Structure 1
Amino acid sequence: MISALAHGYGEEAINIFNNMVRSSMKPYRITLVVVLNACSHSGLVQEGVRYFESMTRDHGIVRNQEHYACLIDLMGRAGCFDRLIKQLEKMPCELDGRLWNAILGVCRIHGNIELGRKAAEQLMELEPQSSAAYVLLSSIYAALVFKKKKKKKYICCSWKVGMGREGETTYGGDWRDR
Protein backbone atom coordinates (compact mmCIF):
# COMPACT_ATOMS: atom_id res chain seq x y z
CA MET A 1 0.00 0.00 0.00
CA ILE A 2 2.85 2.36 0.84
CA SER A 3 4.40 1.67 -2.55
CA ALA A 4 1.15 2.41 -4.37
CA LEU A 5 0.87 5.79 -2.65
CA ALA A 6 4.55 6.73 -2.94
CA HIS A 7 4.20 8.30 -6.40
CA GLY A 8 1.82 11.19 -5.98
CA TYR A 9 0.47 10.63 -2.48
CA GLY A 10 3.69 10.81 -0.47
CA GLU A 11 2.19 12.21 2.71
CA GLU A 12 -0.42 9.45 2.81
CA ALA A 13 2.31 6.83 2.24
CA ILE A 14 4.29 8.28 5.14
CA ASN A 15 1.20 8.30 7.38
CA ILE A 16 0.66 4.60 6.69
CA PHE A 17 4.33 3.90 7.44
CA ASN A 18 4.14 5.86 10.71
CA ASN A 19 0.97 3.99 11.71
CA MET A 20 2.71 0.71 10.91
CA VAL A 21 5.68 1.61 13.12
CA ARG A 22 3.39 2.83 15.94
CA SER A 23 1.57 -0.51 15.86
CA SER A 24 4.95 -2.24 16.49
CA MET A 25 5.30 -3.65 12.98
CA LYS A 26 8.95 -3.84 11.99
CA PRO A 27 9.68 -2.38 8.54
CA TYR A 28 11.78 -4.24 5.99
CA ARG A 29 14.72 -2.80 4.06
CA ILE A 30 12.58 -2.32 0.95
CA THR A 31 9.88 -0.53 2.98
CA LEU A 32 12.37 2.22 3.76
CA VAL A 33 13.34 2.43 0.07
CA VAL A 34 9.68 3.08 -0.74
CA VAL A 35 9.31 5.64 2.08
CA LEU A 36 12.43 7.49 0.90
CA ASN A 37 11.06 7.50 -2.67
CA ALA A 38 7.75 8.85 -1.37
CA CYS A 39 9.60 11.69 0.36
CA SER A 40 11.67 12.35 -2.77
CA HIS A 41 8.70 12.51 -5.15
CA SER A 42 6.75 14.69 -2.70
CA GLY A 43 9.53 17.18 -1.95
CA LEU A 44 9.68 16.16 1.72
CA VAL A 45 13.44 16.55 2.12
CA GLN A 46 13.65 16.95 5.91
CA GLU A 47 11.33 14.01 6.50
CA GLY A 48 13.30 11.87 4.06
CA VAL A 49 16.61 12.69 5.75
CA ARG A 50 15.03 11.92 9.12
CA TYR A 51 13.83 8.49 7.91
CA PHE A 52 17.23 7.80 6.35
CA GLU A 53 18.99 8.62 9.62
CA SER A 54 16.55 6.56 11.69
CA MET A 55 16.92 3.37 9.63
CA THR A 56 19.77 1.84 11.60
CA ARG A 57 19.13 3.58 14.91
CA ASP A 58 15.40 2.87 15.21
CA HIS A 59 14.81 -0.11 12.95
CA GLY A 60 18.14 -1.96 12.82
CA ILE A 61 18.26 -1.75 9.02
CA VAL A 62 21.72 -1.52 7.48
CA ARG A 63 21.79 1.03 4.67
CA ASN A 64 22.80 -0.17 1.21
CA GLN A 65 23.35 1.43 -2.20
CA GLU A 66 19.61 1.47 -2.86
CA HIS A 67 19.00 3.61 0.22
CA TYR A 68 21.85 5.94 -0.70
CA ALA A 69 20.50 6.25 -4.25
CA CYS A 70 17.15 7.31 -2.77
CA LEU A 71 18.90 9.87 -0.56
CA ILE A 72 20.76 11.26 -3.58
CA ASP A 73 17.49 11.47 -5.51
CA LEU A 74 15.78 13.14 -2.54
CA MET A 75 18.43 15.84 -2.15
CA GLY A 76 18.96 16.28 -5.87
CA ARG A 77 15.29 16.72 -6.76
CA ALA A 78 15.11 19.43 -4.10
CA GLY A 79 18.17 21.12 -5.64
CA CYS A 80 20.29 20.59 -2.52
CA PHE A 81 23.51 19.88 -4.46
CA ASP A 82 25.82 21.09 -1.66
CA ARG A 83 24.26 18.62 0.77
CA LEU A 84 24.35 15.94 -1.91
CA ILE A 85 28.10 16.43 -2.48
CA LYS A 86 28.78 16.32 1.28
CA GLN A 87 26.78 13.10 1.54
CA LEU A 88 28.75 11.57 -1.34
CA GLU A 89 32.04 12.42 0.38
CA LYS A 90 31.08 10.65 3.60
CA MET A 91 29.29 7.70 1.99
CA PRO A 92 30.62 4.43 3.47
CA CYS A 93 29.81 2.34 0.41
CA GLU A 94 31.38 2.40 -3.03
CA LEU A 95 29.52 4.38 -5.66
CA ASP A 96 27.98 1.86 -8.05
CA GLY A 97 25.93 2.29 -11.22
CA ARG A 98 22.69 2.91 -9.32
CA LEU A 99 24.23 5.78 -7.38
CA TRP A 100 25.84 7.41 -10.43
CA ASN A 101 22.56 6.96 -12.33
CA ALA A 102 20.67 8.71 -9.50
CA ILE A 103 23.19 11.57 -9.55
CA LEU A 104 22.91 11.87 -13.33
CA GLY A 105 19.11 11.82 -13.13
CA VAL A 106 18.94 14.76 -10.72
CA CYS A 107 21.55 16.62 -12.77
CA ARG A 108 19.20 16.25 -15.75
CA ILE A 109 16.31 17.68 -13.73
CA HIS A 110 18.30 20.76 -12.68
CA GLY A 111 20.65 21.12 -15.66
CA ASN A 112 23.79 20.61 -13.57
CA ILE A 113 26.24 19.97 -16.42
CA GLU A 114 29.47 19.81 -14.41
CA LEU A 115 28.32 17.12 -11.98
CA GLY A 116 26.26 15.47 -14.73
CA ARG A 117 29.32 15.04 -16.93
CA LYS A 118 31.29 13.49 -14.05
CA ALA A 119 28.41 11.15 -13.22
CA ALA A 120 28.01 10.14 -16.87
CA GLU A 121 31.72 9.37 -17.20
CA GLN A 122 31.64 7.20 -14.09
CA LEU A 123 28.47 5.44 -15.23
CA MET A 124 29.92 4.80 -18.71
CA GLU A 125 33.00 3.26 -17.11
CA LEU A 126 31.00 1.08 -14.70
CA GLU A 127 28.30 0.05 -17.18
CA PRO A 128 29.71 0.42 -20.72
CA GLN A 129 26.85 -1.64 -22.22
CA SER A 130 24.19 0.73 -20.84
CA SER A 131 22.89 3.65 -22.89
CA ALA A 132 21.40 5.46 -19.85
CA ALA A 133 24.41 7.72 -19.32
CA TYR A 134 24.43 8.81 -22.96
CA VAL A 135 20.70 9.50 -23.04
CA LEU A 136 20.62 11.46 -19.78
CA LEU A 137 23.74 13.49 -20.58
CA SER A 138 22.45 14.36 -24.06
CA SER A 139 19.19 15.47 -22.45
CA ILE A 140 21.11 17.83 -20.14
CA TYR A 141 22.98 19.35 -23.10
CA ALA A 142 19.83 19.62 -25.23
CA ALA A 143 17.97 21.47 -22.47
CA LEU A 144 20.91 23.87 -22.10
CA VAL A 145 20.99 24.63 -25.84
CA PHE A 146 17.25 25.32 -25.94
CA LYS A 147 17.49 27.48 -22.84
CA LYS A 148 20.26 29.56 -24.43
CA LYS A 149 18.15 29.93 -27.59
CA LYS A 150 15.19 30.97 -25.40
CA LYS A 151 13.05 28.09 -26.56
CA LYS A 152 10.44 26.42 -24.42
CA LYS A 153 8.80 23.05 -24.83
CA TYR A 154 5.04 23.23 -25.09
CA ILE A 155 2.72 20.28 -24.91
CA CYS A 156 0.39 20.24 -27.89
CA CYS A 157 -2.96 18.59 -28.15
CA SER A 158 -5.64 17.79 -30.66
CA TRP A 159 -9.38 17.35 -30.47
CA LYS A 160 -11.22 14.29 -31.65
CA VAL A 161 -14.87 14.64 -32.51
CA GLY A 162 -17.06 11.83 -33.68
CA MET A 163 -19.70 9.30 -32.78
CA GLY A 164 -21.35 11.86 -30.51
CA ARG A 165 -18.31 12.18 -28.23
CA GLU A 166 -15.71 14.88 -28.01
CA GLY A 167 -12.38 14.62 -26.20
CA GLU A 168 -8.91 16.04 -25.98
CA THR A 169 -5.91 13.88 -26.83
CA THR A 170 -2.43 14.95 -25.80
CA TYR A 171 0.14 13.77 -28.29
CA GLY A 172 3.48 15.27 -27.30
CA GLY A 173 5.29 18.52 -27.61
CA ASP A 174 7.67 20.58 -29.64
CA TRP A 175 10.04 23.49 -29.10
CA ARG A 176 8.70 26.99 -29.72
CA ASP A 177 10.03 30.53 -29.29
CA ARG A 178 9.12 32.03 -25.95
Structure 2
Amino acid sequence: MKTKEQQEAEFRSFAIAQRESLRRYAYLLCGDWYEADDIVQKALTKMFAAWRRVEPGGAPAYVRKIVTNVYISHRRLGWVRRERSSADLPVQRLERPQEAVDVRLEVVAALNRLPARQRATLVLRYWEQLSVDETATAMGCSTGTVKSQSAKGLRKLKDLLTDPVIPARV
Protein backbone atom coordinates (compact mmCIF):
# COMPACT_ATOMS: atom_id res chain seq x y z
CA MET A 1 0.00 0.00 0.00
CA LYS A 2 1.31 3.41 -0.95
CA THR A 3 1.74 6.11 1.63
CA LYS A 4 -0.20 9.34 1.45
CA GLU A 5 2.98 11.17 0.43
CA GLN A 6 3.62 8.72 -2.42
CA GLN A 7 0.04 9.12 -3.68
CA GLU A 8 0.35 12.92 -3.56
CA ALA A 9 3.66 12.79 -5.44
CA GLU A 10 2.12 10.53 -8.12
CA PHE A 11 -0.85 12.87 -8.48
CA ARG A 12 1.38 15.93 -8.67
CA SER A 13 3.41 14.31 -11.48
CA PHE A 14 0.23 13.32 -13.30
CA ALA A 15 -1.29 16.81 -12.95
CA ILE A 16 1.88 18.52 -14.21
CA ALA A 17 2.10 16.16 -17.19
CA GLN A 18 -1.59 16.54 -18.14
CA ARG A 19 -2.33 20.17 -17.29
CA GLU A 20 -1.51 21.83 -20.64
CA SER A 21 -3.33 19.19 -22.64
CA LEU A 22 -6.38 19.51 -20.37
CA ARG A 23 -6.22 23.31 -20.61
CA ARG A 24 -6.23 23.20 -24.43
CA TYR A 25 -9.11 20.72 -24.36
CA ALA A 26 -11.10 22.88 -21.92
CA TYR A 27 -10.43 25.96 -24.08
CA LEU A 28 -11.82 24.20 -27.13
CA LEU A 29 -14.91 23.37 -25.11
CA CYS A 30 -15.55 26.82 -23.63
CA GLY A 31 -13.66 29.26 -25.89
CA ASP A 32 -12.19 31.26 -22.99
CA TRP A 33 -8.72 30.71 -21.51
CA TYR A 34 -9.72 31.96 -18.05
CA GLU A 35 -12.76 29.71 -17.91
CA ALA A 36 -10.60 26.84 -19.21
CA ASP A 37 -8.20 27.39 -16.29
CA ASP A 38 -11.14 27.30 -13.86
CA ILE A 39 -12.50 24.12 -15.42
CA VAL A 40 -9.12 22.37 -15.28
CA GLN A 41 -8.56 23.47 -11.67
CA LYS A 42 -11.96 22.09 -10.61
CA ALA A 43 -11.37 18.88 -12.57
CA LEU A 44 -7.93 18.31 -11.03
CA THR A 45 -9.35 18.98 -7.56
CA LYS A 46 -12.04 16.34 -8.16
CA MET A 47 -9.42 13.99 -9.59
CA PHE A 48 -7.24 14.42 -6.50
CA ALA A 49 -10.17 13.48 -4.26
CA ALA A 50 -10.62 10.25 -6.24
CA TRP A 51 -6.93 9.58 -6.94
CA ARG A 52 -6.51 6.49 -4.74
CA ARG A 53 -9.46 4.80 -6.51
CA VAL A 54 -8.30 5.57 -10.06
CA GLU A 55 -6.45 2.96 -12.10
CA PRO A 56 -3.14 4.48 -13.28
CA GLY A 57 -3.74 3.53 -16.94
CA GLY A 58 -7.23 5.00 -16.92
CA ALA A 59 -6.34 8.30 -15.26
CA PRO A 60 -6.08 10.41 -18.48
CA ALA A 61 -9.50 9.26 -19.73
CA TYR A 62 -11.02 9.70 -16.28
CA VAL A 63 -9.76 13.27 -15.88
CA ARG A 64 -10.95 14.12 -19.42
CA LYS A 65 -14.41 12.88 -18.40
CA ILE A 66 -14.27 15.10 -15.32
CA VAL A 67 -13.27 18.12 -17.48
CA THR A 68 -16.20 17.41 -19.81
CA ASN A 69 -18.64 17.15 -16.89
CA VAL A 70 -17.32 20.35 -15.26
CA TYR A 71 -17.65 22.18 -18.58
CA ILE A 72 -21.24 20.98 -19.05
CA SER A 73 -22.09 22.03 -15.47
CA HIS A 74 -20.58 25.46 -16.13
CA ARG A 75 -22.84 25.83 -19.17
CA ARG A 76 -25.88 24.97 -17.08
CA LEU A 77 -25.08 27.86 -14.74
CA GLY A 78 -26.40 31.17 -16.02
CA TRP A 79 -23.47 33.24 -14.75
CA VAL A 80 -21.05 31.57 -17.15
CA ARG A 81 -22.85 33.04 -20.14
CA ARG A 82 -21.26 36.44 -20.00
CA GLU A 83 -20.08 38.89 -22.58
CA ARG A 84 -17.34 37.53 -24.79
CA SER A 85 -14.26 39.18 -26.20
CA SER A 86 -14.07 40.58 -29.71
CA ALA A 87 -12.79 37.23 -31.00
CA ASP A 88 -16.45 36.28 -31.41
CA LEU A 89 -17.10 39.06 -33.92
CA PRO A 90 -17.58 38.03 -37.56
CA VAL A 91 -14.32 37.64 -39.43
CA GLN A 92 -14.16 39.17 -42.89
CA ARG A 93 -12.87 36.82 -45.54
CA LEU A 94 -9.81 38.54 -46.97
CA GLU A 95 -6.88 37.08 -48.80
CA ARG A 96 -3.89 37.68 -46.58
CA PRO A 97 -1.16 35.69 -44.84
CA GLN A 98 -3.19 35.82 -41.62
CA GLU A 99 -6.08 33.95 -43.27
CA ALA A 100 -5.34 30.58 -41.63
CA VAL A 101 -5.46 32.19 -38.19
CA ASP A 102 -8.69 33.97 -39.10
CA VAL A 103 -10.27 30.71 -40.22
CA ARG A 104 -9.24 29.07 -36.96
CA LEU A 105 -10.78 31.94 -34.98
CA GLU A 106 -13.95 31.64 -37.04
CA VAL A 107 -14.18 27.90 -36.29
CA VAL A 108 -13.63 28.51 -32.56
CA ALA A 109 -16.31 31.23 -32.62
CA ALA A 110 -18.71 28.85 -34.39
CA LEU A 111 -17.91 26.08 -31.90
CA ASN A 112 -18.71 28.51 -29.11
CA ARG A 113 -22.23 28.93 -30.49
CA LEU A 114 -23.00 25.19 -30.30
CA PRO A 115 -24.86 23.66 -27.34
CA ALA A 116 -22.50 22.32 -24.67
CA ARG A 117 -22.99 18.59 -25.35
CA GLN A 118 -22.62 18.97 -29.13
CA ARG A 119 -19.47 21.03 -28.67
CA ALA A 120 -17.99 18.54 -26.21
CA THR A 121 -18.80 15.66 -28.57
CA LEU A 122 -17.16 17.35 -31.57
CA VAL A 123 -14.05 18.33 -29.61
CA LEU A 124 -13.62 14.83 -28.20
CA ARG A 125 -14.26 13.11 -31.53
CA TYR A 126 -12.41 15.35 -33.95
CA TRP A 127 -9.87 17.33 -31.91
CA GLU A 128 -8.94 14.73 -29.29
CA GLN A 129 -9.48 12.01 -31.94
CA LEU A 130 -11.35 9.66 -29.63
CA SER A 131 -13.44 6.82 -31.01
CA VAL A 132 -17.22 6.78 -30.59
CA ASP A 133 -16.85 4.34 -27.67
CA GLU A 134 -14.13 6.43 -25.97
CA THR A 135 -16.21 9.59 -26.43
CA ALA A 136 -19.25 7.86 -24.94
CA THR A 137 -17.16 6.81 -21.94
CA ALA A 138 -15.72 10.31 -21.51
CA MET A 139 -19.18 11.88 -21.66
CA GLY A 140 -20.98 9.20 -19.68
CA CYS A 141 -23.54 8.51 -22.39
CA SER A 142 -24.37 5.87 -25.01
CA THR A 143 -22.63 5.50 -28.37
CA GLY A 144 -25.93 6.36 -30.06
CA THR A 145 -25.97 9.69 -28.24
CA VAL A 146 -22.41 10.39 -29.40
CA LYS A 147 -23.38 9.63 -32.99
CA SER A 148 -26.49 11.81 -32.91
CA GLN A 149 -24.73 14.68 -31.11
CA SER A 150 -21.88 14.46 -33.65
CA ALA A 151 -24.27 14.58 -36.60
CA LYS A 152 -26.29 17.47 -35.16
CA GLY A 153 -23.16 19.36 -34.11
CA LEU A 154 -21.48 18.96 -37.51
CA ARG A 155 -24.65 20.07 -39.30
CA LYS A 156 -24.99 23.16 -37.07
CA LEU A 157 -21.26 23.94 -37.36
CA LYS A 158 -21.51 23.74 -41.15
CA ASP A 159 -24.50 26.09 -41.11
CA LEU A 160 -22.67 28.55 -38.86
CA LEU A 161 -19.54 28.50 -41.02
CA THR A 162 -21.36 28.87 -44.34
CA ASP A 163 -23.56 31.79 -43.26
CA PRO A 164 -22.49 34.94 -45.05
CA VAL A 165 -20.45 37.23 -42.84
CA ILE A 166 -22.43 40.31 -41.88
CA PRO A 167 -20.59 43.37 -43.18
CA ALA A 168 -19.54 45.87 -40.57
CA ARG A 169 -21.32 49.23 -40.64
CA VAL A 170 -19.07 52.22 -41.17
TM-score strictly above 0.5: no
Higher relative contact order (CA 8 A, sep 6+): 2
TM-score, structure 2 normalization: 0.29
Higher strand content, 1 or 2: 1
TM-score, structure 1 normalization: 0.28
